Structure 1
Amino acid sequence: MAGMSALELETLWTEFHGVVNMTSQEIGVVLQADGDGESEWTSTGLRVLEILQKRRSELTEEDTRVMYDVVERVEDFAPGADGRPSRDQLMRLGHDPLRSAPEGSL
């Protein structure tokens, strides 16, 4: 991938798969139930599902932008903080903040 070293891609891949702690099936259920009009979060969640089905070598520059965005949104999460994403919003991205992060991530 142009503009990104192998080490940067490896780091992003690891961070992304560390914050996405829900299965594709679980994310799909959350997205199907989404009826509150938060289309930006749902749109990103659909992209997360696409990325989860790819190999690292198949990623596009747009995929890496989405991955950075997801990692940033999840890392910005602070329970009860004004302006921070809610649990429902994060679950649309594949992150359930009530679950423990997999060992070795974050």
Structure 2
Amino acid sequence: MAGMSALELETLWTEFHGVVNMTSQEIGVVLQTEGGAEDADSGSESEWTTTGLRVLEILQKRRSELTEADTRVMYDVVERVEDFTPDAAGRPSRDQLMRLGHDPLRSGPEGSL
């Protein structure tokens, strides 16, 4: 991929798959359950759902198939999850993070940060 070294891509791949601690099926259920009419009325919520759909697409790809647009989404997801602070004003909620594939309450090696 142009503009990104193999080491940078490897690091991003590892970070992304570390913060996305839900399965594709789990993410799909969250997006279907929470992505209805309320998302259509709220631009910010719709953005989280749109990004979640992109996460699902990326999870189906091999590293060699990633595009520059994919890597931008991956960076965005990692940043949003790393910025998560429970109950802090202006920070993403658990529901929003779950739309990106991260459940902050999940424990284990792939669990919360």
Q: Same fold (TM over 0.5)?
A: yes
Cα-Cα RMSD: 2.6
- After superposing the two structures, state which structure 1 stretch, 95-104 or 42-51, moved more: 95-104
How much has 1:6 moved relative to structure 2? 0.1
For residues 34 and 25 of structure 1, what CA distance do their matches in structure 2 show?
A: 25
Stretches of 4+ aligned residues off by more than 2 angstroms: 33-37, 100-106
How much has 1:70 moved relative to structure 2? 0.0
Question: Which SS does the other structure have where 2:44 is aligned?
Answer: coil
For residues 78 and 45 of structure 1, what CA distance do their matches in structure 2 show?
A: 20
How many residue pairs align between the two structures? 106
Deviations 1:31-50 (A, max 9, x none): 00999971100000000000
Structure 1 unaligned spans of 5+:
none
For residues 90 and 60 of structure 1, what CA distance do their matches in structure 2 show?
A: 23
- Checking the alignment, whether the CA contact within 8 Å between 1:19 and 1:95 is kept in structure 2 is yes
How much has 1:105 moved relative to structure 2? 9.7
- CA gap of 1:95–1:13, structure 2 versus 1, over 3 A, is same
